[in-house]
Amino acid sequence: MASGTSFLAPRDLSGISIPDMLRSEGTSFSFEFFPPKNDESEQVLWEAIRHLEKKRPSFVSVTYGAGGSTRDRTVRVTRRIAEETTLLPMAHLTCVASSRAELRSVVGAYADAGIRNVMVLRGDPAGGLGSPWVAHPEGLDHADQLVSLVRPLGGFTVGVAAFPDKHPESASLEQDADVLVAKQRAGADFAVTQMVFDVDNYLRLRDMVAARGGTLPIIPGLMPITSAKQITRMAELSGAALPVALTSRLEAVGDDADAVREVGVEIATEHASRLMAEGAPGLHFYTMNRSTATLEVFANLGH
């Protein structure tokens, strides 16, 4: 498969707003990728993009690497998605190791590509989780400050992160709800959560935000589990504890890799079905640059 060959004709998506899409589509479906580190992994990424493109997702996004790395590659891949596919890209932007001027430059690159939807995050400390956060001397400390920086530039709609299992640096879920409302007041239009391992936790955060007057849509994030090692690592990176209801089902199949994957797809399907029934505005799938497991979940949902 040639990575630059589109199966569907590119279309102008520059005027489409994710918040407007959420209001008009019912449940949205979106996918997240991470930037490739080399030519081989870039080929894998584009194969996944082309497979998932056929499902006509509401939007897709490309992350920064850990600690703000791969920024330039993220911008390049996001721009290429905008120019060569039928997909609506949501750009990523973090405060990590960037001055205000550098952040404005990245936003300008996105605007030049016709991208108008941006996910803004403080980002993980450069030293990784557990390391102290150190802002760039001419940069920003918090995501709400980045929202305020991006908002006036180029007519963007702005997404922010939400943490259903509590942010690793937060004192409580109540504080997380307060922070999310503060992000909305700074100009955020919608939120996407870290991976939801417990649907009740997502619902609790959503209701706490609503009780504080927050109205921004909160899209839950999901990732079909394809290996026990992978999900443990992702939980560590997000700072979330895996619920016993999930780990017990994985442990029951032991080291059988195919069975772990099958159970992982079942769990993602169950979570997706319940989230839709509970009125979640969308489902955001963390694909790990692979398409098969996500497509299986889609098939199980009737898509």
- Asked if pLDDT for residue 292 goes beyond 70, the answer is yes
Q: How far is CA 103 from CA 176, 179, 207, 216, in A?
A: 25, 22, 33, 24
Question: Which of 32-41, 103-112, 196-205 comes out lowest in average pLDDT?
Answer: 32-41
| Phi and psi torsions of 241, nearest 5° | -90, 135
Of residues 132, 160, 277, the one with CA closest to residue 219: 160
Q: 68 versus 216: which is more confidently predicted?
A: 216
Helices (H), 199-252: 199-211, 228-238, 244-251
- Asked if pLDDT for residue 176 goes beyond 90, the answer is yes
Q: How far is CA 257 from CA 226, 252, 253, 297, in A?
A: 8, 12, 9, 18
- Asked if pLDDT for residue 9 goes beyond 80, the answer is no
Write down the pTM of the prediction.
Answer: 0.90
Q: Please give the Cα distance from 150 to 141 (Å, whole number).
A: 14
Percent of the chain whose predicted confidence (pLDDT) is above 70: 89
**Residue 11 — very low, low, confident or very high, per pLDDT cuts 50/70/90?**
low
Structure confidence at residue 3 (pLDDT): 40
Residue 8: both structure tokens together:
């569907």
Q: Residue 156 — left, alpha, or beta (φ > 0 → left; ψ -120 to 50 → alpha)?
A: beta
Structure confidence at residue 137 (pLDDT): 86
Question: Which of 9-23, 218-232, 235-249, 282-296 comes out lowest in average pLDDT?
Answer: 9-23
Structure confidence at residue 268 (pLDDT): 96
Query: Across residues 155-171, what is the average pLDDT?
Result: 90
- Which residues belong to the active site? 32
Percent of the chain whose predicted confidence (pLDDT) is above 90: 50
Q: How far is CA 251 from CA 236, 245, 254, 259, in A?
A: 18, 10, 5, 10
